[in-house]
Structure 1
């Protein structure tokens, strides 16, 4: 392998700098949006110079993709913790409540971190769109797997379609985030989720 082909080794200090840039960009892009966040904003927030920034990221697109990966990992880690043991309808209600309560802290503002990025980036950057699609698919599968466990245990009737119900619930969640953001009120999110949960409850045994 030639020197040009060898992967560049990054020092611990370099890794820390890169992480600081990504975390700062993630916070700014969540509040302001991707397009309204400039590289100057990120450099200022992360206290990094131009040379430090460009050592780690070729351009803004490269930074945005790193933020998509970072944010996707955070969301999936959170949702895995909440959904990995889902086996009951009451567990599904607790999951709903946790999401609504978290969003209520901002009065519904800012919406879903992944959903907002999808709105901004899906028609702008194909690699980002693909990563976001994969993250949503993984999130939806966590829900579907929980519903399948409910079905396997007899908590849901045999005609229930876990995959289809999970898609409907995810659509209600993302639509609820969007409407809550526009209204700065979580009530639309609550209504959307409760309607989707009512559909699932119609398959609950007993």
Structure 2
């Protein structure tokens, strides 16, 4: 219901109002990613977005609504980036390119702040079952992209018939999220790359071997 009301309200905004709303939302997303949800106040958001109190409260009358919209923004943009890579995944080299893109993106901030979606989840999932289910849906969509990519690899003969795409995808996602956390605490993406390398090495155990004994890439 709240989401439907938010969409209805957004549809009534002028072009200028949409720009202001987007500026507020993106400022909030950046602050919550860097500072955390609990440490981010509406006053912080107002200052970072260069908006007045009346503008802020017109679009987001309370922090709960703002947080829910930040979750949707982060999830939508992250999953779209993942979709662009994983919808074409059909090889071990493609899996390595996926790893490289994630590590390189995280290296832009020296490994700080963690996964945009995972960091929010770690703060919020225990407080509200509806929020937990929303995160479960977002991570499920992300995981599904990996599962489908690995399934294509199995069906095309890159992976053996006994490879389990669901289990392999879960191991990759677990390595990724653990790697994000280790990179965040050390301010170094090396542990993230190591974790993903180990998970990909596990996938390679199921690679079909060519006559020369090398894995089919």
Normalised by the length of structure 1, the TM-score is: 0.93
Alignment of 1:145 onto 2:179: no
Which piece of structure 1 moves more, 153-162 or 121-130? 121-130
Structure 2: which 5+ runs fail to align? 210-217
Q: What is the root-mean-square deviation of aligned Cα atoms in Å?
A: 1.4
Count how many residue pairs are aligned between Structure 1 and Structure 2: 201
Normalised by the length of structure 2, the TM-score is: 0.89
Given candidates 94, 98, 107, the residue that maps to 1:95 is 98
Structure 1: which 5+ runs fail to align? none
Given candidates 188, 192, 203, the residue that maps to 2:191 is 188
Q: Give the superposition deviation at 1:126.
A: 3.2
Q: Give the superposition deviation at 1:186.
A: 1.2
Q: Distance in 1 between matches of 2:92 and 2:15?
A: 45
Flag as ranges the 4+ runs of structure 1 deviating above 4 A: none
Given candidates 55, 58, 72, the residue that maps to 2:58 is 55
Alignment correspondent of 2:36:
33
Q: Is the 8 A contact 1:84 1:142 kept in 2?
A: yes
Q: Distance in 2 between matches of 1:61 and 1:158?
A: 47
Given candidates 159, 170, 182, the residue that maps to 1:156 is 159
Given candidates 1, 23, 42, the residue that maps to 2:45 is 42
What secondary structure sits across from 2:109 in the alignment?
coil
What secondary structure sits across from 2:113 in the alignment?
coil
Q: Distance in 1 between matches of 2:111 and 2:49?
A: 27
Q: Is the 8 A contact 1:100 1:186 kept in 2?
A: yes
